[in-house]
Homo-oligomer: A and B are copies of this chain.
Amino acid sequence: MEQKLLPEIRARYACREFLSDAVSSGDTAAVLEAGRLAPSGFGLEPWRFVVVADDPTRRAMAQACFGQIPVVTAPVLVAIMAMVEQLHPGSDYVRARFETEARGQPVDAIHAAYQAFYRADTIAAWAVGQCNFAAAHMLLQATHLGLASCPIGGFDSAQVARVLRLPLGEIPALVIAFGHCAHSQPERLRKSSVT
């Protein structure tokens, strides 16, 4: 079993404190690209990525994340925003994605399926959940580059929106801290498999 596992899945862990060593811009770009290539429901890719590497914004983000040590210490943060407003059926954004996804085939069926799926009161939570596909890609990509990472779901959403000057209709889904870890991979603790 162990031998069959993707090495990055075996090696990834949540780093609780980062060293101050910088992350190269090439590595950051590869992490973003990994997120960009993630799958998403209806092919809607309802996300936007914001890189935070400058000191004042990192400090403001650390505060918005309640001073959690990984955010305080990491040299680079990537905030994943869920696009909500643009997910309205028939929006320019949705039309453009479906045209692309259809690869030249008729798009009526996917528009109808999405119209049946869409509910204004649940779409935000759905979009936030979709961002976890991009996040998982980024975490494994960072591992592939020899970087440590820590996903952070606990933050003051309104404060993050202010710090990053988010447009209306976008909400912060997840903040990921990247860098070099100050500790080694801890023992992995998981509930046992139930299938």
Contacts and interface: CB of A to CB of B under 8 A. Distances in A.
B133 A101 contact: no
27 contacts: A4-B26, A4-B30, A4-B144, A5-B37, A6-B141, A9-B37, A9-B140, A12-B37, A36-B191, A37-B188, A38-B136, A39-B139, A39-B151, A42-B153, A48-B194, A49-B193, A51-B195, A100-B189, A101-B189, A122-B125, A125-B125, A128-B129, A129-B129, A129-B132, A132-B132, A133-B135, A136-B136
A6 B33 CA distance: 10
A165 interface: no
Nearest to A114: B154
Interface in A84-139: 96-97, 100-101, 103, 113, 117, 122, 125-126, 128-133, 135-137, 139
A141 B30 CA distance: 19
A48 B191 CA distance: 10
Nearest to A151: B39
Interface residues of A, number: 64
Given A45-B190, A154-B113, A194-B48, A10 B26 contact: no
Interface string A1-23: 10011101110101000000000
A193 B48 CA distance: 8
A186 interface: yes
Given A129-B132, A195-B32, A39 B26 contact: no
Contacts of A187: 103
Interface centre among A10, A97, A130, A133 (most CB of B within 10 A): A133
